[in-house]
């Protein structure tokens, strides 16, 4: 993908973020060796043709990879990422070790003279920074863990890409900065760990855009019991959420319909 200017329209692409586990505690010399090895393993896993088609941006302890539509998702999730995990496993007796968190999303990516950006890129980084992905790699028997966005998982499941089993991904709740979303976790050859992390980090509730967490419960005598509402009749018993976004109604102990 050639460099683009800020005036060009955004292009839809697959966004991958790789993040090296335990990078900062290493010495400067070891960090540089890890970085070189990471690029080498990525190039080998994707293959020369697919890798040349991608745009990459260095992030110090990881790499942002933007994969154009010309590279099939099956080639990424069914071939490149499994090859990357296998290569990492071969390094376990090597020096230095290399374990990776990988996050994936798909959406419009914007290009300018400084690099790449946009909501799709931001969302992929939020996934990479999430606690469920960190916990999964920390527990994993292998050397990688993958978290894909809800929208991307739906696409993978709907389209039926060869080599990709949507059932091997398990839902987790992602809460990083202002992002509140659902992701789908896959731990290669360690489905038990993925299930454990999902059980610990997924409430099972649907997340609706724009919905405020918390709420208000009202009990109006024997006539009414509502949640997330301000309707009451007769004697009113009000319980506000712990977040305290709702004010004032708790002072209305009696009265008519509000």
pLDDT at position 251 over 70: no
Match 């610990």 to its residue by tokens.
200
Helix-strand-coil split of the chain, %, nearest 5: 35, 30, 40
Distances (CA, A) of 47 to 67, 68, 91, 208: 13, 15, 19, 39
Q: Domain check: are 231 and 115 in the same one? A: no
Whether residue 133 is contained in a domain is answered as: yes
246 or 201, which is more confident? 201
| pLDDT tier for residue 202 given thresholds of 50, 70 and 90 | confident
Q: Which residues of 114-137 are buried (b: 16+ CB within 10 A; e: fewer)?
A: eebbbebbbbbbbbbbbebbbbbb
Q: Which residue has the higher pLDDT, 33 or 209?
A: 33
Q: What percent of the chain has pLDDT over 90?
A: 53
> Is residue 112 in a domain?
yes
Give the CA angle between residues 198, 215, 201 to the nearest 5°. 10
Q: Do 124 and 243 sit in the same domain of this protein?
A: no
- For 38-95, how does the pLDDT look when each residue is reduced to its tens digit (9 = 90+)? 999 999 999 999 999 999 999 888 999 999 999 999 999 999 999 999 999 887 655 6
- For residue 251, what is the DSSP state? G
Cα(172)–Cα(204) distance, rounded to whole angstroms? Answer: 9
Burial 41-67 (b: 16+ CB within 10 A, else e): bbeebbeeebbeebbbeeeebbbbbbb
Q: Identify whether residues 171 and 238 lie together within a single domain.
A: no
Indicate if the pLDDT at residue 15 is higher than 80: yes
- Lowest average pLDDT, out of 27-31, 63-67, 249-253, goes to 249-253
Shared domain check, 231 and 114:
no
pLDDT mean over 14-20: 96
Q: For residue 160, what pLDDT is reported?
A: 76
Q: Distance from CA of residue 41 to its chain's centroid? A: 22
Same domain, 16 and 84: yes
Same domain, 194 and 89: yes
The answer to whether residue 206 is domain-embedded is: no
Do residues 238 and 186 share a domain?
no
Q: Is the residue at 245 inside a domain?
A: yes
Q: Tell me the residue range of the domain where 184 lies.
A: 11-201
Q: How far apart are CA 191 and CA 175, in angstroms?
A: 23
User: Is 4 domain-assigned?
Assistant: no
pLDDT for 199 equals: 94
- pLDDT: which is higher, 5 or 240: 5
Residue 27 has pLDDT above 50, yes or no: yes
pLDDT at 215: 41
More confident residue, 183 or 157: 183
CB 219 within 8 A of CB 233: no
- Rounded Cα distance, 214 and 240, in Å: 8
For residues 199 and 251, the model is more confident at 199
Give the C-alpha distances (Å, rounded to integers) separating 71 from 30, 68, 74, 204. 32, 6, 9, 34
Query: Among positive and negative, which fits the CA dihedral 72, 147, 157, 80?
Result: positive
Instruction: Assess whether 66 and 175 both reside in one domain.
Output: yes
| Residue 141 and residue 78 in one domain | yes
């Amino acid at each position: 993908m050639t460099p683009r200017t800020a005036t060009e329209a955004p292009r839809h692409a697959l966004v991958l973020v790789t993040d090296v586990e335990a990078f900062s505690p290493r010495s400067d010399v070891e960090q540089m060796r890890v970085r070189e090895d990471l690029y080498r393993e990525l190039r080998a896993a994707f293959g020369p043709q697919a890798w040349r088609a991608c745009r990459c941006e260095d992030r110090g302890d990881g790499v942002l990879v933007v994969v154009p539509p010309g590279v099939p998702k099956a080639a990424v999730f069914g071939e490149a990422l499994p090859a990357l995990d296998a290569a990492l496993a071969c390094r376990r007796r090597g020096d230095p070790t290399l374990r990776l968190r990988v996050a994936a999303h798909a959406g419009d990516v914007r290009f300018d003279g400084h690099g790449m950006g946009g909501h799709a890129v931001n969302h992929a980084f939020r996934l990479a920074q999430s606690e469920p992905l960190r916990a999964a790699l920390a527990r994993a028997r292998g050397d990688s863990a993958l978290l894909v966005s809800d929208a991307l998982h739906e696409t993978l499941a709907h389209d039926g890409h060869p080599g990709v089993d949507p059932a091997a991904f398990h839902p987790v709740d992602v809460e990083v900065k202002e992002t509140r979303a659902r992701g789908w976790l896959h731990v290669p050859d360690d489905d038990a760990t993925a299930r454990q992390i999902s059980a610990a980090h997924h409430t099972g509730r649907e997340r609706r855009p724009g919905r405020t967490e918390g709420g208000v419960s009202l009990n109006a005598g024997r006539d009414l019991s509502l949640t997330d509402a301000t309707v009451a009749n007769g004697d009113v018993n009000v319980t506000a959420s712990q977040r305290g976004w709702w004010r004032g109604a708790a002072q209305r102990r009696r009265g008519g319909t509000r």
